[in-house]
Amino acid sequence: MIPRYTLPEMGRLWTDEYRFETWRRVEGACMRAWSELGKIPPEAVDEVEKKTRINVSRIEELEAVVRHDMIAFVTSLGEQVGEASRHIHYGLTSSDVLDTALGLQLKEAGEMLLADVDDFTTTLGEAAKKYRDTPMIGRTHGIHAEPVTFGLKLALWFEEMQRARKRLEDAIDEVSFGKISGATGTYAQVPPVVEEMVCRELGLHPAPVSSQILGRDRHAAFLTQLAMVGSLLEKYATEFRHLQRTEVGEVEEPFRSGQKGSSAMPHKRNPIVTERISGLARLLRGNASTAMENVALWHERDISHSSVERVIIPDSAILTDYMLKRFTIVIRDMRVYPDRMRENLDMTGGLVFSQKVLLALVGAGMRREEAYSAVQEAAMEAWETKQSFRELIGKDERVASRMDPEELEQCFKLEEQLTHVDTVFKRLELM
């Protein structure tokens, strides 16, 4: 991923230096397992552990000649020790190291992402409680529907991210596997006990069965859940972008001192972060789709997945980290305009209470079809003439014959529309 969207902690996991160091951890764990089984002398394990260091430039030099990154890596380690070099990579095939190390990287990246999700969800919860009783218009099809509160909108996002966390936890567990089973998964040159010992040391699950590689459905599931997180973030970003439109003006991204919105128009304050998140979510979905293409490989393996994973796995982890952290800042520091929310809610002269009037008329004994007709006629006239719906419906003889003015007025009480919002917050333990 380009530096623009790479934050340091997550980016470090996907550097060449860290990747090779993770390979070295796997090689070391394998040597210690063999040593416990009496196949490798303990002093050889100690020598390799103490003397070998990762030299990325040397590995690249060797790979330019041998055209095989694992051989270049093993050769580089071997150059740094003496007789002990013959014990490095003993009984292994490249993917024993590659896939087990990738499991370590994905587990570590996943744990970082869970922390990101937790921070974002906590921030959403705090904002939801703050704006629990801040009324605004709810919109369906982009059209004014019935009142909600801004806190209720945020509470929905809070609960969605809780579900996303559970799915992500499962996906992390699904990729936290190692395999030390040899060239075709038969343990012909390395017994299953080595795999068990290595995985136990590294904190991974041993694969119940594998070919030369771990099944790529595991990795596809992981990237799919990152794409799901991205899709939720895009949902929230899209909402922000609408609410920040000049004609709406209810919520706004943070706009820092010294920030500029346009090279041409000094007045501009654009929703650049949420627009960026909307765009990056498309990359995550594309990467997840590509990961699914990696599942179908020839026989016990081919390497058509390998080149792809070098791009899509680091990029997806880095992007998800970036998107979550940036959106956390947006929610924490957003500008909310309750007065504008109320102004927009009231702009249709009470149209948003049409269902309340309808049900009150039905409750007063009017046939539903007749009640609907009366309310709709007044509503359409209010839409087209910009008159007050409250006044128009009160003048309808069909309504006046069923309800006195005080009963009708009760239909337009905003607080009565929102009496059950607290129930949602109690369910979510956000009180």
Task: Report whether 6 contacts 316 (CB < 8 A).
Answer: no
C-alpha 103/C-alpha 25 separation (Å) is 12
What amino acid occupies position 383?
W
Phi, psi of 22 (to 5 degrees): -70, -40
11 φ, ψ (degrees, to nearest 5): -60, -35
Catalytic residue among 141, 267, 299, 420: 141
Long-range contacts of 285-292 (CB under 8 A, 24+ apart): 285/227, 285/230, 285/231, 287/223, 287/226, 287/227, 287/312, 287/315, 287/316, 288/220, 288/223, 288/224, 288/226, 288/227, 288/316, 291/216, 291/219, 291/220, 291/222, 291/223, 291/224, 292/220, 292/224
- 205 is known as an active-site residue: no
141 catalytic? Reply is yes
Q: Identify the active-site residue in 68, 262, 304, 373.
A: 262
Tell me the catalytic residues: 141, 262
